[in-house]
Amino acid sequence: MELATVIFLFLVGIVFIIKGGDFFVDAASWMAEVSGIPKLIVGATIVSLATTLPEMLVSVMAAAKGSVDMAIGNAVGSVTANIGLIMAISVICIPSVIRRADYLMKSILMLAAAILIVVCGASGQLGIPIAVVMIAIFCIFLCENVSSAKRSMKAGADAAGRRKIEGKKEVAVNVVRFMVGAIGIVWGADLLVDNGSALAAMVGVPERVIGVTIIAVGTSLPELVTTITAIIKKQSSLSVGNILGANIIDLTLILPLCSLVSGKALPIAATSARYDLPACLLVGCIALIPAMVFLKFQKWQGILLLCVYAGYLYLTCSAVAA
């Protein structure tokens, strides 16, 4: 009976995160829409910050409660899921031509952060100095996006897409959505961490595996919702921009915050260093390097990403069984 209760509360946490993320993203997207900020910048900043809030809260809460493997597994696992699963679906459904200038800096920053975390895995910990470097990468990411937004808005990009506010009721509805979404995500994250840890202890599955699979995919569902919506509306730049921005935030803000919250270097388990961190870097290279060379995202990349992600999950589960 106790196991059933834990599973129920775990699922309730996922539902709260999904619905809270949905409300939060809707409100954030509305704010961006009425401001007239370009879609790629909206995806990489406002929507990314909104959709990564679940990962951030889950990982920080996990680190604060001593579940370090879950904290790292969720943050890194979310990046791998974002690219290997969600971005793969987007690329398969909407292969698109891109401008290198729009994606190059974001790609460099994401891969640099992924390389840093692999190096940390080799040393067995994420220390405070590396955490500071990662936060610096995050600051560069924000500055680059603000500069891009200013340039685009000055040039009149997407000005036609700016929508007028229809009245006070519309403002009130979106403020309520924003607040309800934030509360839902916080509450859901707390339920997810507490019951995820309890579930791992009950069934004998390591916290890391729970983090990189169920929790990572669960907290990545807002990105999946955003991607599916973008596919339906044929807005690939919003989808890919959101995923890139979310990944940079996951690696350069969430992990350093976990280190600072725990008050010491984050220990990285050997299994995580062997499977999770290289998988994160590998899917990033497959998604971004060919795109920067050929100036387009192609279907074969999406198919290869799905295969690599499936292989990674198989190896992760096999390591537990062994």
pLDDT single digits (tens) 104-161:
998 999 999 999 999 999 999 998 888 889 999 999 988 887 777 666 666 654 444 5
Measured distance CA(90)–CA(134) in Å, rounded: 27
Answer yes or no: are the C-beta atoms of 175 and 27 closer than 8 Å.
yes
User: Quick check: 45 pLDDT over 80?
Assistant: no
> How do residues 187-245 score in pLDDT, each as one tens digit?
877 787 778 778 777 877 787 888 888 778 776 766 676 677 667 766 666 567 768 87
Measured distance CA(30)–CA(165) in Å, rounded: 10
User: Quick check: 162 pLDDT over 70?
Assistant: no
User: Quick check: 248 pLDDT over 50?
Assistant: yes
Query: Could you give the 3-state DSSP secondary structure of residue 297?
Result: strand
Least confident of 11-15, 36-40, 71-75: 36-40
> How do residues 57-109 score in pLDDT, each as one tens digit?
778 888 888 778 888 888 898 899 989 998 998 889 888 888 888 789 989 99
User: Quick check: 297 pLDDT over 70?
Assistant: yes
Residue 258 banded pLDDT, cuts 50, 70, 90:
confident
Task: Give mean pLDDT, residues 148-176.
Answer: 66
Q: What is the pLDDT of residue 103?
A: 85
Short-list 303, 252, 274, 13, CA closest to 114: 252
Q: What is the pLDDT of residue 47?
A: 64
Q: What is the pLDDT of residue 320?
A: 63
Q: What is the pLDDT of residue 158?
A: 47
The predicted model scores a pTM of 0.77
Element (H, E) at 318: helix 299-321
User: Quick check: 51 pLDDT over 80?
Assistant: no
Q: Work out the angle at residue 255's Cα, subtended by the Cα atoms of residues 253 and 261, and round it to the nearest 5 degrees.
A: 95
